[in-house]
Chain A
Amino acid sequence: MRKPDVLLALLAISSLLSSCSTTQPDYFSPSQSSVAARKMQARIYSSVEESDVMSAAAAVLQDMGYSIDEVELPLGVISASKRADATNRLHAFGTLTLDSMKCAFTFLMACNGEHYGEIDDVQDIRLTLVSIPQDSGNVAVRITIQRTIYDKRGRVSEQSTITDADVYESMFAKLSKAVFLEEQGI
Chain B
Amino acid sequence: MNRYLSILVPMLALSACASQNSAITASDSQVHVRQMQTRIYDSLDKRDTLRSVLATLQDLGFVIDTADYEMATITATRLQEYQLRVTVTVRDRNSNQLAVRANARVDDQTIDDPATYQDFFTVLDKAIFLTRHNVD
A16 an interface residue at 8 Å Cβ cutoff?
A: no
Number of interface residues of A (CB under 8 A): 38
Number of interface residues of B (CB under 8 A): 39
For the complex formed, measure the closest distance between the CB of A33 and the CB atoms of chain B, giving whole angstroms: 10
A86 an interface residue at 8 Å Cβ cutoff?
A: no
Residues of B within 8 A of A79 (CB): 63-67
Residues of B within 8 A of A37 (CB): 59, 61
Interface pair A70/B66, CB less than 8 Å apart:
yes
Measured in the bound complex, the distance between the Cα atoms of B131 and A130 in whole Å is: 14
Residue from A27, A34, A130 with most neighbouring chain B CB atoms (10 Å): A27
B93 an interface residue at 8 Å Cβ cutoff?
A: no
Measured in the bound complex, the distance between the Cα atoms of B86 and A152 in whole Å is: 30
For the complex formed, measure the closest distance between the CB of B55 and the CB atoms of chain A, giving whole angstroms: 7
Q: Hey, which bits of chain B sit against chain A, CB under 8 A?
A: 47, 50-51, 54-55, 58-69, 74, 76-81, 83-84, 104, 106, 111, 113, 115-117, 119-120, 122-123, 134, 136
Beyond A142-B55, A146-B61, A159-B83, 14 extra complex contacts between A and B, CB < 8 Å = A27-B84, A30-B60, A31-B61, A70-B66, A74-B69, A75-B51, A79-B64, A128-B63, A128-B76, A130-B58, A144-B61, A145-B63, A147-B79, A160-B79
